[in-house]
Amino acid sequence: MAATVAALALAAAAAPLRAAAAPSDSDATSVVTPAIPEAVTAQLLLLSDDACEVLYVPGTLDRAAHVETWLRGLAFGAAKRTRHPARLVGLVLGRDEWKQAKLPCVYGVPCRAGTRVVALPAAGDPGTVTLWQGLLGALPRLAGMPLLGTAEEAASLAPADAMAGLVAARDLVAAAGFAGDQPWVTDVLAHAISLDAARQSRSGRAEDLDGFWETVRRRYGSQGVEPADVLAAELNRQSKLYLAAQALLGNDGRLPLRTLRKLQDKGGGMLRAADLRAAWPNALSGL
């Protein structure tokens, strides 16, 4: 049941829009309010910069700083490509706070918690280790020793951070004024924005994203295993969309903004799947 709810929450933000909304000039400066009870946010500390902010449980500053680094890179990179800055918020919550926030995702899976707000686990634990070992077959190897918990528990946070790029970037797609006529259109653009921003940052995050989604493809590909639940099936689907996003970025690794705008104008304010398949037949024909 938990996996079903998590998968539905992961896919919920990808629902097609009726028409593209005009980008708002205030997205970079407006207050972004998490959709969780005030009793939870009142417990959190703040780490803020000019592109994003992270609210985190006391005692997890190192984890919050890590999230702030890649979240800021995503916000800046997306703004550079889409020409529309939009502020992002991360919530770094412990298991108890996650439950109090009544988030629809299982702890350990990144969760949308409001417009341009993504919630992430503050620390790994035996539950997150079991979750991601079951989904991926093995956890990624991390260099060094963690400040909190075991090496396995720390490693179980890396998949959540990789997936969170998709969750956060979906709202950046909408903020930039894009809308697709099918859910996968939004997700391909979100993956492309996330990967493009990661490459711009030159922080190693792009390699982390490539490695995570390649692991998922190997796990559930033709030589792998059948997805055991809806969350595994959703990961498998997203790994294919990530591969399509890599092709969309092309050899220069840049979001093709002008082409996408032209296709959306052609679709009367909607990015149509058929037009995208025609523009990138090799990458998108199977979607």
- Here the CATH number for the domain that contains residue 120 is 1.10.390
284 located within any domain: no
Domain span including residue 221: 2-14+24-277
Q: Is residue 49 part of a domain?
A: yes
Least confident range of 18-32, 72-86, 171-185, 224-238: 18-32
Residue 22 has pLDDT above 80, yes or no: no
Domain count, the chain: 1
Averaged over 155-180, what is the pLDDT? 96
Q: Is 286 within the bounds of a domain? A: no
Position 223 scores a pLDDT of: 81
Mean pLDDT, to the nearest integer, of 249-258? 93
105 confidence band (pLDDT: 50, 70, 90): very high
Say whether pLDDT at 11 is over 80: no
C-alpha 261/C-alpha 189 separation (Å) is 12
Residue with tokens 């082409």: 259
CA–CA distance, 23 with 41 (Å, rounded to integer): 28
In this predicted structure, the answer to whether residue 16 has a pLDDT above a threshold of 90 is: no
pLDDT at 115 over 70: yes
| Tokens linked to 65 | 């700083």
Neighbours of 192 (CB within 10 A): 27
- Nearest residue to 91 (alpha-carbon basis) of 44, 136, 131: 44
pLDDT tier for residue 283 given thresholds of 50, 70 and 90: confident
Q: What is the mean pLDDT of the chain?
A: 90
Considering the domain boundaries, does residue 195 fall inside one? yes
Place of tokens 């492309």: 192
Is residue 190, in this structure, part of any structural domain at all?
yes
Confidence of residue 135 (pLDDT cuts 50, 70, 90): very high
Residue 250 domain flag: yes
Mean pLDDT, rounded, for 37-45: 96
- The pTM score is 0.91
141-166: pLDDT as tens digits: 876 666 677 899 999 999 999 999 99
Classify residue 101: in a domain, yes or no: yes
How much is the pLDDT for 5? 46
- For residue 160, is it within any domain? yes
> Is 134 in contact with 153 (CB distance < 8 Å)?
no
Confidence of residue 15 (pLDDT cuts 50, 70, 90): very low
* Of residues 90 and 30, more confidently modeled: 90
pLDDT at residue 14 in the model: 47
pLDDT given at position 221 = 84
Residue 7, judged by CB atoms within 10 A of its CB (0-12, 13-18, 19+), counts as: buried
pLDDT, mean of residues 25-42: 79
SS (H, E, C) 108-166: CCCEECCCCEEEEECCCCHHHHHHHHHHHCCCCCCCCCCCCCCHHHHHCCHHHHHHHHH
- Average confidence (pLDDT) over 135-143: 88
- Looking at residues 260-274, what average pLDDT do you find? 96
pLDDT at 8: 45
Residues above pLDDT 90, as percent of the chain: 78
Q: Which residue has the higher pLDDT, 77 or 9?
A: 77
The first and second tokens of residue 70, run together, are 């890649």
